[in-house]
Amino acid sequence: MPSSRSPWSKRSLTAQAMGHVDPITKAIVPPIHVTTTYIRDEDNAYSSGFVYGRPDNATIREAEEVLAMLEEAEAGALLFSSGMAAATAVFQALDPGDHIVASKVMYWALRNWLMTEAVRWGLKVDFVETDDLEALRGAVKPGVTKLVWVETPSNPLWTITDIAAAAEIAHAAGARIAVDSTTASPIHTRPLTLGADIVMHAATKVLNGHSDVVAGVLAGAKADAFWARVASIRKMQGAILGPFEAYLLMRGMRTLHVRTAAQAKSALDLAQRFSSHPKVARVLYPGLPQHPGHDIAARQMENGFGYMLSIQVSEGEAAAIRAAARVGLWKRATSLGGVESLIEHRASIEGPGTPCPPDLLRLSTGIEDVEDLYRDLDEALRG
């Protein structure tokens, strides 16, 4: 849906970074604003709207404007220094003793933070398979639960939670719902339009898309007191993004629609082909009809099913690790969403307590030739 302030589509607005032109030089790429402080008016006011570099930076605001447009976020968007900084700010805006229900399968670092630091600060956290709506309904405590945190598709099993149904459950209990939509991106899913209150992205991933920026973002459905508290936490704790990083993020987002289309197409192609591979026991990808969450994904995702998939190697953990060691074009590295394709034996990274099967390889599909990607991994699996 186009921006309410423009007749142009989201794709056009993103490609031109909202069409901003520098008023002085007429440059079509806005300058990087690095100042830390601003001139006051003669009456000591700040008519420019900029006071100090920590909460106020024009380069960061320009990137936030694009993100808010993509997510249709009435409250706007807030950029953070990392995905973890963005996610934990939401939990820090709660009060000690508040109850949280969170997806059992989620980004491992956030799950570990919730099991340790969040508990130390007095939050009460229950993990549940949020794709099971009855389990979610049973875990939410009316009047007690204050936040439901959903990751969908969930990393690295790519389970799908029905966001609209989960939002109904959360709101009926008097709780907010926040969605980690990192692997979907606003190109494939817009959680706020499905009833979510907050959407979070590790902008390090596909939003930037070039593996050279660490950033996070929150977008809000409504500018209420809770959203104001989240914004205050970012400001007071200094969890801000630098202007150069915001510039690089904006640079990356200009090609977001083109990249995600290519990556999703290749991911589906690979998922289909590896589904019948003799060395692969199972492919996990929501675009496959046999995926348990396929019907929900087809309803709430658009423009494809994303760039992430996992394969379970038929000969087990050792064979999976060997295959990851043999690839040439795929890069054996952590992270996801970049233009280069990455492969990782995820259970080794997450360690004890991980819900990740030991025979699983996580694949982040880039923009390389899909025939090259298939041949490289096929040869690595066959040894």
- Tokens encoding 201: 């992205």
* Distance of alpha carbon 41 from alpha carbon 207, whole angstroms: 37
Residues 10, 104, 107, 307: which is the catalytic one? 107
- Tokens encoding 276: 């019948």
* Distance of alpha carbon 67 from alpha carbon 64, whole angstroms: 5
Residues 11, 54, 141, 322: which is the catalytic one? 54
* Distance of alpha carbon 73 from alpha carbon 178, whole angstroms: 13
Q: If we measure between CA atoms, which residue out of 327, 316, 305 comes closest to residue 376?
A: 327
Backbone phi, then psi, for 19, in 5-degree steps? Answer: 80, 15
CA 292 to chain centre: 21
Are the C-beta atoms of 185 and 206 separated by less than 8 Å? Answer: yes
180 in catalytic set: yes
Residues 176, 205, 346, 362: which is the catalytic one? 205
CA 365 to chain centre: 15
Q: If we measure between CA atoms, which residue out of 225, 138, 223 comes closest to residue 173?
A: 138
For 357, other C-beta atoms within 10 Å of its C-beta total: 19
Burial, 289: exposed, middle or buried (Cβ in 10 Å; 0-12, 13-18, 19+)? exposed
Residues 56, 98, 162, 180: which is the catalytic one? 180
Alpha carbons within 13 A on the beta-carbon side of 198: 30
* Distance of alpha carbon 21 from alpha carbon 58, whole angstroms: 13
CA 201 to chain centre: 3
For the four alpha carbons of 220, 103, 121 and 94, in that order, the dihedral sign comes to positive
205 in catalytic set: yes
38 in catalytic set: no
CA 200 to chain centre: 6
54 in catalytic set: yes
Q: Catalytic site residues?
A: 54, 107, 180, 205
